Structure formats: C-alpha cells, structure tokens
C-alpha cells in the first residue's frame, strides 16, 4: 500500500516525504472531497502549516484540485491521472449534498460546452450542482 502511494507522488514529480504520504493516504480513503480543517483534524497533532503546504504542493503538481462548494470552506479532491503541474483538466461537475453536506466529484458528468461572447476566453470553469446525493436518496 505504502509503495503504491509513494509511486503516485513520484509520478507527479513530488518527493514522497512522510507527511506527503500521510496526507495522500488520507485523501485516498475519502469517498467525497475533504476540507483543510478536516485533514488537520484527521492528522492531529501534525503541524497545520505543514499540512497546508503539502496540499498546496499537491495542487500545484496536479495531484488534487480545489472545489469551491459555496460553503465557505474549500474542499480538496484527488485528480485524475491526466492533471499535471499547473495543468488541471478537472472539467467535471461537483455536487454538494444539502442533506449530508458532503461534496463529490462527478468525473462522468462533464461540464457542457458553453458559448461565450467573442474575446471572452475562459481559463477555468466550475460547475457546482446542489441537491441530494445517492446515499441520501433512499
């Protein structure tokens, strides 16, 4: 398990330090996106600044992407393999469940092409859908 986690870091040109392995391991266990404060809580008593820097490094290297779900606390989720340094391709819908308050990546739900007026060029797009998730549907 440890070796697989380490390889994921090496694949993204990230030096696999103990803290980075710990944070990635935690991210791999999540079924939904996780906030920085939840990562801090899970990894207590690890230093918050180190955790923050770790996540920022992951984001810069294309390992995680940031999701603004409108709750005021940004969430992080793992990227697909095709993201790289300064190059994210996470053009999928994010879903915020108003019942369980979890935020999910929906990689199979792509953001549709939208037409913009001439001379407007998009650099990123976010599509957040709010509603009830599959777990809460029953």
Residues of the shown chain interacting with Zn ion in the complex, contacts defined by CB under 5 A:
65, 77, 79, 83, 88, 90, 97, 99-100, 105, 133, 135-136
> Quick check: helix, strand or coil at residue 56?
helix
CB 20 within 8 A of CB 6: no
Of 41 and 101, CB closest to Zn ion: 101
- Min dist CB 19 to Zn ion, Å, is 21
- Min dist CB 22 to Zn ion, Å, is 21
CB 52 within 8 A of CB 36: yes
Of 41 and 130, CB closest to Zn ion: 130
- Min dist CB 44 to Zn ion, Å, is 26
Of 12 and 43, CB closest to Zn ion: 12
- Min dist CB 29 to Zn ion, Å, is 16
Of 43 and 105, CB closest to Zn ion: 105
> What Rg, from alpha-carbon coordinates, does the chain have?
16
The sign one gets for the Cα dihedral 114, 117, 122, 126 is negative
């Amino acid at each position: 398990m440890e070796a697989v986690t380490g390889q994921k870091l090496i694949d993204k040109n990230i030096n696999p330090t103990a803290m980075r392995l710990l944070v990635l391991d935690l991210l791999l266990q999540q079924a939904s996106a996780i906030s920085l404060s939840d990562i801090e809580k899970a990894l207590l008593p690890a230093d918050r600044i180190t955790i923050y820097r770790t996540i920022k490094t992951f984001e810069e290297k294309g390992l995680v992407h940031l999701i603004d779900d409108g709750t005021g606390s940004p969430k992080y989720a793992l990227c697909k393999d095709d993201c790289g340094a300064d190059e994210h391709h996470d053009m999928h819908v994010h879903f915020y469940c108003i019942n369980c308050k979890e935020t999910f990546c929906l990689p199979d739900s792509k953001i549709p092409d939208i037409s913009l007026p001439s001379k407007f060029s998009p650099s990123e797009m976010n599509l957040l859908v709010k509603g009830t998730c599959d777990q809460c549907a029953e």
